[in-house]
């Protein structure tokens, strides 16, 4: 129990970072916790497990990859025939499987998406996405020559992080300010725009870093292919049953540290891009039209899709 508390604290205080790491920690600790309860009677076992599940989910209400993992394990309890010791065993298996899913998805996305990065391609991206990194680095390893245009991505300059990582892999990078996005689409005529996704919703929309809709709008105007790269595990099944994705707003000081008094600063972190702006989503199971993602998730991962599963 103490360990649970430590891990949950670490997640909450952002000591554990990155959707994948958070999800791995969460499912690991959840499976371990179950083992401590193995010897209890089923009702007590379930009650305590449900309580911990809720506590874990609350640490990151907007991280589908972690939420899906916990739900995947917890779904085992729906089978009333299975005893607590058996459940613990099964949970270990699922925890293992989910961690594998997470770890292999990035490599698969890299291999699939890299086929779209042809020789002499110009790629435009925004912010930082490890799935996009995976694709570009995979393409580079195949000795293809291409260049990337990246926005600096105010206020936290994640675009600089993207630039540094790609430069380390000898990929030529051009950096621009965010408001030069449309100029860059017009000037460089990139062959593809490739961004990540923080979540995918039931209408096939993605939630991603603020500025993504602006980039999508300009790419659509200029008929430049626009893809998101994301694990299917980032699908948020609660949106299927009506919940709206929450959009985080962050501290004003990220934008201007010595803010003048009386000045209001708004700092929305994400925005929604609906499916009509997206040619396709590059997932670990292939490139699909955004409208298909909710169904593929529901079909492949019925236990994560939960009560809303079709």
Distance CA 240, CA 235 (A): 10
Radius of gyration of the chain (CA): 21
Min separation Cβ 61 and a second copy, Å: 14
Distance CA 266, CA 276 (A): 27
- The answer to whether 280 contacts a second copy (rule: CB under 8 A) is yes
Which one is catalytic: 88, 127, 133, 236? Answer: 127
258 belongs to the catalytic site: no
SS3 (DSSP) at 192: strand
**Per-residue exposure over 50-77, b if at least 16 CB sit within 10 Å of its own CB, e if not:** eebbeebbebbebbbbbbbbbbbbbbbb
Q: Which is nearer to a second copy, 37 or 219 (CB)?
A: 219
127 belongs to the catalytic site: yes
Residues numbered 228 to 257 that lie near a second copy (CB under 8 A) are: 239-244, 255-256
Distance CA 298, CA 116 (A): 27
- The answer to whether 43 contacts a second copy (rule: CB under 8 A) is no
Min separation Cβ 246 and a second copy, Å: 11
Q: Which is nearer to a second copy, 44 or 100 (CB)?
A: 100
Which one is catalytic: 38, 120, 178, 198? Answer: 198
Among residues 118, 141, 169, 253, the one that binds a second copy under rule CB under 8 A: 118
Min separation Cβ 217 and a second copy, Å: 6
Q: Which is nearer to a second copy, 5 or 179 (CB)?
A: 179
Instruction: Name the token pair of 234.
Output: 């980032």
Min separation Cβ 126 and a second copy, Å: 8
Residue range at the interface with a second copy (CB under 8 A); choices 2-10, 39-47, 48-56, 290-298: 290-298
Residues numbered 54 to 83 that lie near a second copy (CB under 8 A) are: none
With CB under 8 A as the rule, give the number of residues binding a second copy. 85
* Cα separation values, 99 from 36, 73, 115, 169, Å: 21, 12, 26, 27
Residues numbered 154 to 213 that lie near a second copy (CB under 8 A) are: 154-155, 160, 163-164, 167, 172-184, 186-187, 189, 202-205, 209-211, 213
SS (H, E, C) 2-15: HHHHHHHHHHHCCC
- The answer to whether 306 contacts a second copy (rule: CB under 8 A) is no
Q: Which is nearer to a second copy, 28 or 158 (CB)?
A: 158
Pair 245, 236: CB distance under 8 Å: yes
| Catalytic machinery residues | 127, 198
């Amino acid at each position: 129990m103490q360990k649970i508390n430590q891990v949950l604290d670490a997640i909450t205080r952002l000591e554990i970072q990155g959707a994948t790491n958070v999800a791995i920690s969460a499912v690991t600790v959840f499976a371990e916790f179950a083992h401590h309860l193995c010897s209890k009677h089923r009702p007590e076992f379930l009650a305590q497990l449900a309580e911990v599940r809720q506590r874990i989910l609350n640490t990151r209400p907007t991280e589908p990859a972690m939420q899906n993992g916990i739900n995947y394990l917890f779904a085992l309890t729906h089978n009333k025939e299975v005893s607590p010791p058996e459940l613990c065993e099964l949970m270990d298996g699922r925890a293992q499987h989910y961690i594998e899913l997470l770890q292999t998805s990035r490599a698969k996305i890299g291999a699939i998406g890299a086929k779209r990065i042809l020789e002499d391609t110009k790629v435009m991206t925004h912010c930082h996405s490890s799935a996009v990194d995976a694709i570009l680095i995979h393409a580079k390893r195949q000795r293809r020559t291409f260049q990337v245009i990246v926005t600096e991505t105010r206020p936290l300059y994640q675009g600089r992080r993207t630039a540094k990582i790609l430069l380390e892999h000898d990929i030529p990078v051009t950096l621009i300010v965010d408001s030069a996005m449309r100029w860059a689409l017009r000037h460089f005529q990139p062959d593809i725009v490739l961004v990540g996704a923080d979540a995918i919703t039931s209408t096939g929309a993605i939630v991603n870093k603020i500025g993504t809709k602006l980039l999508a709008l300009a790419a659509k105007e200029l008929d430049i292919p626009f893809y998101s790269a994301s694990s299917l595990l980032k699908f948020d099944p609660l949106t299927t049953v009506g919940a709206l994705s929450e959009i985080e707003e962050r501290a004003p000081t990220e934008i201007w540290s010595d803010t003048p008094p009386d000045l209001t600063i708004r700092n929305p972190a994400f925005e929604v891009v609906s499916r009509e702006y997206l040619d396709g989503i590059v997932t670990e199971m292939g490139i699909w039209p955004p409208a298909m993602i909710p169904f593929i998730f529901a079909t492949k991962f019925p236990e994560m899709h939960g009560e809303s599963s079709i």
